[in-house]
Chains A and B, each alone.
Chain A
């Protein structure tokens, strides 16, 4: 099994719908992150969590919310999806002490909002 698993892999949804992207990890790390990737813009941080009770906004959090259900699970929600949220979404995890082991990314969720 992959260290970081994202579901679904692909999703097409309509404007205005609520959608949840899920992420689970088996690394045992406390830190988890959600990024989105857009052509020409690179990866940008949406939200990050240092532990179950610590959730923080990233660079582009507007229109998104997150939930850290357990150490291993971190979900991203789009409350009312809009077309410019069409992107490739990545979940990642890292160790807590100096990032000694770097970041581990999931395979991504390709979201299309029509």
Chain B
């Protein structure tokens, strides 16, 4: 059974810092990987999707990478802002057509003004 670990569970940084969130899978055979943002009590907003043929995706100040050999992904946030404060979730599925999107428990990020 695929398990996903996100480290750290919580992170507090001053505004303007660059930061890295980590995600690792017990089964490194990840087909697609998706990073989400969740604000308290709210739904999941998709941030970045790394498809099976890709290793990296960028959107604005966000960059996500996936190392399939190790089953690890990182989300890099540049020049953090207070509005980045949220919980960040990574999720992956194994194999084309697999229904199971397995989630980590998230990293709660607080950016201090």
Which residues of B have CB within 8 Å of A103?
34, 46, 91, 101
Is B49 in contact with A98, judged by CB distance below 8 angstroms?
Answer: no
Total interface residues on A, CB under 8 Å, equals 28
Give min CB distance, B53 to chain A, whole Å. Answer: 10
Tell me, in angstroms, the Cα distance from A38 to B49 when the chains sit together: 24
Tally of A-B Cβ pairs under 8 angstroms: 63
Interface-facing stretch out of B12-20, B68-76, B77-85, B103-111 = B103-111
Which residues of B have CB within 8 Å of A104?
46
User: Restricting to B20-47, which residues have a CB under 8 Å from any CB of A?
Assistant: 31-32, 34, 36, 41-46
Is B46 in contact with A88, judged by CB distance below 8 angstroms?
Answer: no
B51 within 8 A of A: yes
Which residues of A come within 8 Å of B, CB atoms? 31, 33, 40-43, 45, 48, 50, 56, 88, 90, 92, 94, 96-108, 110
22 A–B pairs (Cβ distance < 8 Å), ordered by A: A40-B105, A41-B105, A42-B103, A42-B106, A43-B91, A45-B99, A48-B99, A50-B99, A90-B44, A96-B97, A98-B52, A98-B97, A99-B31, A99-B93, A100-B51, A101-B49, A102-B32, A102-B46, A103-B46, A105-B44, A105-B46, A108-B41
